[in-house]
Each structure stands twice: as structure tokens, then as C-alpha cells.
Structure 1
Amino acid sequence: MIATPMTRLLQKEVKFEWTERCQQSFEKLKALLIEAPILVQPESGKEFVIYSDASLNGLDCVLMQEGKVIAYASTHDLVLAAILFSLKIWRHHLYGKRCRIFTDHKSLKYLMTQKELNLRQGRWIELIKDYELVIVYHLGKADVVTDALSRKSLFVLRAMNTRVTLSDDGSILVELKARPMFLQEIFEAQKDDSDLQTKRINSGGCLMFRDRVCVSRNDELVRKILHKVHSGCLSIHPGSTKMFNDLKKWYWWLKKDISKFVSRCLICQQVKAEHQVPSGLLQPIMVPEWKWDRVTMDFVMGLLLTPSKKDVVWLVVERLTKSAHFIPVRIDYSLDKLADLYVSKIVRLHGVPLSIISDRDRDSHPDFGKSCKRPWAQS
């Protein structure tokens, strides 16, 4: 990228040093910003230049003359074929149902409104019209599941954290051994851990506890294992619970380390979908039409004991005028006792309110209303 020399200076633990490359990058950005990015008309007699690219997603090309763009062109048949593939194999689920398809190919959003389509694309569009679907653009780096399915490949031993060693003991054949580097590092850390010297269990060269590898409190080694399991080439950034369930089969581990590591993963914070149900809109409380029609109440607890053996203040506020009553009570008062106090202190002076708003205290319990009605029922 053009701005890479400058943006690299913004990284942590990087000394801010303005070099010649930074100055060239700055000047080039200024020149690009003042040039209008428009398409030009082709001129006869001048040489045409074509830049082309191909990937498993499609074909892309740019037609230029003297560094000026004349036209862009691209095709996305392979991505569209993946959509048709999913619709065919899950037709019994999707036919007649509303469906959203996420793809990292942004131009597919406008597929249904394109004016020019080749024969194959037109034929596929007719099949897509049988379904009630919406194509939604999705960032490619966020689509970790389908990437894991579509980009399976063989990995070199270095990517698998494995070292190959050759041992020649004089025989004709040379023995080839592949030993996981993680186990070797864990074994070395165990030898240096004084707390494990007296508890060593010799099982394949590593200390094992309940058939799991016991990892020393080596911060660098712990961080490396967590990174490979969470962000490695074969992982899909699992959550803390999924990651813990995977790790506990092999390592004797603490869950809080995994939860802390997952919560600090930058990629997870940026692209993972939010599974929590969105909270509803705040609803305003209706303004009362008359005094003491609607009241709010709460308890102020944790106070010192008074000479009259009271340690809680019961606060009753009228919502229209904000006038309030402060009633001293005790924390062990029953609902019946509170109801009697409410009738004698509030209802006697202001009448019965239309509504009472409170949090989840004892006065918000349904039995509180029944207890308040008891004096009238007895009379």
C-alpha cells in the first residue's frame, strides 16, 4: 500500500523516524488526492494497456491508456456457483422461506439489477428467482467458517509446529521422526520448574496429570499455545467455552487464562457477530395528571442503627411534584408490616395511588399489594 511507510510509524513500540520512503509516500498520496479518479475516453493511435488478475473467486481486468483508466471489468461466476450449490443441496429447507446469503464479493449485491449477463449467469438467475433470498455483502476476514471449508490445504511441518530429525545409527535405513515442537518446549519448561521436580511423572518425556500435559507457569509458552489454538491456521477463533473444552482434552489448564486471552483477541472483537439479543428501546414513564396518582419507592439500606432500632429508610416519592416521605424501618420488616406502614403514612394522607413503580425490592412483590388491601377487606 502507498501509505504503509507512514502508517507503520503509528504502531506500538516503533520509533517515529521520518525517512525518505515516508516522504515519497506522502508526496504520492497528495498527488493522488488532487487527481480526479474518472474514466477517460480511448484515443486511437495510442497504445492500450491491460492489467488482469485471476483467482478462484473470479476474473478481473483493467483497460488503460498512458496510465489513465478507460474501463474496469470483472466476473464472479465461481462465487455465484457457490450460491447455486448451497440452494440446490438445501432446497428442502430454503424453498418458500426467506433467506439471506452472505458473500465477500460485493458486486453480487447488485446481481439482480445488472443489465448485461452472459448466458450462464442468466440461466442461474432464473434458478435463483425461485427462492426468496437477499444477497448481503460480508467482509471476507469475518467469514472464517466458509474460509476454513474452502481453503483446506496441506501445511508444511513448520506450520504444524513439528520438527523433523534424522538419526543414523550405522544401519542402512535412516529413521525419520516427527516430534511436535510444543511438547518439546513444554518438556524443557517442566525441567526448569522447581515446583515440578518432586512431582515428575515420566510419560513419554513429559509430565502428565490425569492423562493431560501439565504446562508450567511460563507466560510465553502459555501465550504461544493459546495463540495457536485460537488464531492458528486450523482454528476459527472459538469462544472461551469452546476453546476450553478443546484444550482440556490435552492440557491441564486454568479456564480464566483462556477467557482472558479470548476477550483480548482483536479479530474477535472486530468481526465476530453479536449473539446477545438486542435490548429494546427505552420507554418513557407517563407523566401523572394529578398529585399522588402515581408514586415511586425504594429502600436506602446499609445505614447505622438508630436509637429506635431502625437501620433502613423507606423513600416514597410522588412523581408529579417530587414531594417525598422518608419512613424509618428495619431491614427485617415483613410485607404485612410494610403494608400497614404504607397505609398509615401514605394512604391516610394522600389516598390510594393508581400505580407504584419500584425496583425488585420487597415492596414490588405481588403480595405487597394484597397486604395493602387487607385493612379495607377486614373493615
Structure 2
Amino acid sequence: MFALLKKQNKRNAKIHFNDEQLKNFQELKRRSCNPPVLHLPDFNKPMRLRTDASKFAVGGVLFQVVDGAERPIAYTSRKMKSAELNYPTQQQELLAVVHSLAAFRIYCLDKPPIVETDHKSLEGLFTQKMSNRRLARWYDIIAEYQPTFSYLPGAKNGIADELSRRPDLQPETKFFHDLSVTSFDDTSFILALSEVATDTNLTTNIKKAYKKDREIQTIFAAIKRRTADPKSKRVSQQHKKYRSYSEADGFLWYQTPTDDVPRLVVPNDLMLRQTIISECHNTNYGGHPGAERTYLTLARRWYWSKMLKSIQRFIADCEPCRRNKPRLTKPPGLLEPLSIPDERWRSISMDFITDLPRTKRDVDSIWVVVDRLTKRCHFVPTSNTVTAGGVARLFIDNIWKLHRMPSNIVSDRDMKFVSKFWQYVFKSIGTKLSMRGTPSTR
């Protein structure tokens, strides 16, 4: 497929895709975004481990042969440490085996795995003389698994070879997302996305949604007036408001002085915005990142009002994220009961029973005060509209007069108890107010 596309890549030649080449291009995009699906291990069948080492990293793939086809179970790779970079080639290849066996320990302990490597000298590993303590330690680790070594030509060891040559593990490597893009065309932004659907044209949908978005139409009109008469006073006022916007090829672009490149403005279309967020968040290569990371990725090329809030709402409703991601905050603490008071009426709790039938005395509520030690109660009739001063008067006449001032009062978050008046009264008499919302009051 790639060979047919390569023919079009000639110097000073225009690119014209026919139906077959366009189909190959779409298939290449699909395959690049959809790696082989991992296979569930069958512990009744032997495990196969394919390893390799490069000059800077080691890698391995665990797989099984099912119905004549190799089904990958897991991948692993890591960068070599500074000391490991100086190992001879054989020891680097053996390091890849040791690392892969440790990574896939739970799969390889049940039955001896078959280790395939492109370094033929490892076939007679246990018959070789141990030249240093490091090899002796590795032999001891490998002996626990009792593997069988098998030679595999390097040309057939493609997967493990690629894992050991990951670009992000190679030192002094610059990636595409670190490079600045200096030019745009009609399809540059769509190439950054995988194929959304076979019957969907993202550029067409954006232009159609532009026509339905009044705010964007207003911006387009302001840009046209700015181009036609830049000295107009009205144009000058609108220029300050829309100076970060520009129009090119029917698309609206947004760029502030801090932006390296212009960003495509997405119209106020919920399905369109969710599609763009989904392509960055839900796909296999997306990895379901958090809201801030998704926003930073999208904000390089896209723009719409309240973009972060849209992404936060989308991720809050993402079922895989809610089901699989661990809690990042501390777990809630255990409930702590209140200590038992030492004396009667030294610790009381109080609350209101409201919305009762109104009496002739204009009473429709009951103020309830309970001694936490004896559970003796006072029920004081009052009104639902009683003020903080009125509650203070009830407290003095019915509680303080009979039982003296308590040392501790437990109440809910009622405004009557946390008003400035109550705070002043409690502070002046040295009484501590505990709120029911804290763990100690539950």
C-alpha cells in the first residue's frame, strides 16, 4: 500500500490521488491508529517471549500461537541505565530477557516459556562459563522460570526490535509534537485526527455549522468590514474585540500574541465539539488523559469559547474513565463518634422542627434541646421566622436559667446558630461551637 503512495512523492510533482490510492491512504491511517488487540492468555498453552536489545533500550513481547496466528498478550520496554549502555552485546541481549521475564512473571511461572531471541549464543546459555557476578545473578533469576531458548533471525524479530528502538527512549530525540507548524492548508488539521467516519467530512461539517452560528457570522462580518474600510471608527472598535480572529479559505482562525500558530475556531455545535474531543480522548492512541492534558493537546490546534469546561463535562461522563481510573484524592476518613459527656447538661445538641400547623399564638416550629448524657429534652415553641436574637433569648430563658451554660453545643449549619450574633455570644462566654458537618459530630 505504501509503495503505491510513494510513487506520488516525486520532486516538483503535484499529488493526485485516485480511488485506489485514496483507499490505501485511509487504510494506512486506520492501521496506524488501531494496533493489534491484546489477547487473553490461555494458561493451558505454552507462553512465547520474544526479546531484543538496541544500543539504548530493551524490549519484549509476550504472545501465544492461536489457530496458527501469533496473538500478543503484553508488551514491555525500558531505557537502559548509564552502566548498562557499556555492557557487551550478549549481556544486553540477556538483559532484555531478564527484564521481560520479570515484567511477565505472573504469566511465565506456571509453565516454562519459550524465549525467542536473535542472538544465537543465548541458546547455550546454561552451558557457558559465568564470567562475573552479574551473569551469575542473572542465571539465578532465569533458572526460576526454566525457559527454553530458541534462535529467531533478526528479520523475523520485528516487534521486539521496534520495542527496543522506541523514539521516546532514544536520547536527544525531537518529536513531532515539539516541532512548530508554520503553515496551514485546508486539510492540515484533519490529518492530525484519525478517520472519524467513512461518511463524515469534518471540513464540510465545520463550514455548515459556521452558517448556523450567529456569533461566528458576526465575526466574519466584522472581518469583512475591517478589510473593506480599516479606518472606520466602528471598524476600529470591532477590531479591538475581534483582532485575534482572521479568515482564510472559508475557515475562521484564532491567534493571540502568545500562540505560535493560528487555531481553527470550532462553531457552537455540540456533536462537532464532542467528536473532536473524543478523537483526542477516547481513541487507542489517546489513552483517556485527564481534562487538563486533553485541553492542552486540543488547544494547540482548536479553539472555542469555554473550551476547558466543555472538556471537563465530556470527561466527567466518560464511562471508561469513571470505571477504571483510580481515586487521586485521599480516601474519606472514618466517622468519629462524639465523646460521652462527664456531667449532665455539659454538652447539648439543638435543632428546629419546622413547618408545623400554625397556632393562634403564631407558633409553627419547635426548638428542641437535648442533653447528650441523659437524653433529657426541652421542647420550646417558637416561630419559623425567629431571629438570632430571639433564639438567644429562648436559650437564656429555657436552658441557661435551669442548667447553667453548657461547655459544648452541637448544632447543624443553621444560619441562626452561625450568625455573627451567636459567634459573638459564644466567644464572650467562652463556649465552643461544634458544627455537625465535621466528622466528630456525626
- TM-score, length basis structure 2: 0.42
Higher RCO, 1 vs 2 (CA within 8 Å, ≥6 residues apart): 2
- TM-score, length basis structure 1: 0.48
